[in-house]
Amino acid sequence: MSNPFATKNPFMSMWLSGANKVAGKGRGLWQAAARQQQSAMFREAGKMATSFWTGALKTPSSRKRRKTGK
C-alpha cells in the first residue's frame, strides 16, 4: 500500500515556489539596504579619520581681539 503523504502535490509545489520568490525579493531588498548603510558608515569613518589626521597638520589660528566700543 502506497503512502498518500509521499506523493507529489502540485498545488503545494506552486505555493512553495511563490513563497520562495517573495522571500527572495525581501531578502534582496534587505541586503541592498544593509549594503547601502554599510558603505555610508565606511564613508563617514573615512571622513572622520581624514579630518582627525589632517587637523594635526594645521597651524593654530591666532585669536582676533574684539574692539570694545568705549
Q: What is the 3-state secondary structure (H, E, C) of 3-32?
A: CHHHCCCHHHHHHHHHHHHHHHHHHHHHHH
Report how far apart, in Å, the C-alpha atoms of 12 and of each of 22, 31, 41, 55 are. Answer: 15, 28, 43, 64
63 vs 54, residue with greater confidence:
54
Amino acid at 53: W
Entry pTM = 0.56
32-62 pLDDT per residue, tens: 999 999 999 999 999 999 988 888 777 666 7
Supply the mean pLDDT for the chain.
Answer: 87
- The residue that leads in pLDDT, 32 or 65, is 32
